[in-house]
Each structure stands twice: as C-alpha cells, then as structure tokens.
C-alpha cells in the first residue's frame, strides 16, 4: 500500500504559478502510476495529469501547455507545476496512485485506489 499527503496549495492570482507536491510513503512507489485530480464545487472530479512508472505523461486538454507533472522516485514525491493559472483552475487537488496491471503484451495503469486528503487551490482574477 501507499499513503499520500499533498501540500503546496493556496491562493494565487490569475496568470501566477503554484507547485503542488505529493509525498508518498509505503513500498514500491516507483512502480505506481501517479496522477493529479481536481474537484471544484458542484462539479465532477476530473483527472488533470498523470505519469506512469515509465515517465509517460498525460494531461487533460484544459491544462496542456500550462501544467507539468513530474516525479522524483528517490524522494517518493509527485509534483504538479501550475503556470499561467486561471480562475477556472480553482479546485481541491488530489494526488492518487494506481498499481500497474500486467497484460500479455503491455502494461496499463489500474484503478486509482490510493488517495491523499487534498490541497485547495484558489485562483483570483
């Protein structure tokens, strides 16, 4: 299992920057797929960015070119660098982890079963 703790949220003005961190504890962090999700009031949770154990990343369209996900496996930490933030980025941001699922010819990330408690990001115009 893995335990996740987010930090780095806060209030920022539009077009500003913020970096979120997610510290993981537990075994085999490097083998997990990691992702950032967010949920704004009255909206469904959405996956913002992810990185698998090979370093392959994926972003939702609304943050492409503005957000960057990275991980430091030596420090068991996942990051989300948020640049050029917008008021619509305001949400609770969650870190999540998923185990890899082994298929005959490929590996895929499984369900995100491990979650942090979240960190609030508020962007003012």
Structure tokens at 80: 């989300």
24 pLDDT above the threshold of 90 = yes
pLDDT at 2 over 80: yes
**pLDDT mean over 11-26:** 96
For 61-100, what is each residue's pLDDT tens digit? 999 999 999 999 999 999 999 999 999 999 999 999 999 8
**Beta bridge mates, 57:** 51
Instruction: Report the distance separating Cα 88 and Cα 43, nearest Å.
Output: 11
pLDDT at 26: 81
**Average pLDDT along the chain:** 95
Cβ count near 81 (within 10 Å): 15
């Amino acid at each position: 299992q893995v335990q996740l703790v987010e930090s780095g949220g806060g209030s920022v003005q539009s077009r500003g920057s913020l970096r979120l961190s997610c510290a993981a504890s537990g075994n085999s962090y490097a083998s997990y797929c990691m992702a950032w999700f967010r949920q704004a009031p009255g909206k469904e949770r959405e996956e913002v960015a992810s990185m698998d154990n090979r370093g392959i990343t994926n972003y939702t369209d609304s943050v492409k070119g503005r957000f960057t996900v990275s991980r430091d496996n030596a420090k068991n930490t996942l990051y989300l660098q948020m640049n050029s933030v917008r008021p619509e980025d305001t949400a609770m941001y969650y870190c999540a982890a998923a185990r890899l699922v082994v298929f005959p010819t490929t590996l895929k990330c499984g369900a995100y079963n491990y979650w942090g408690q979240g960190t609030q990001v508020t962007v003012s115009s």
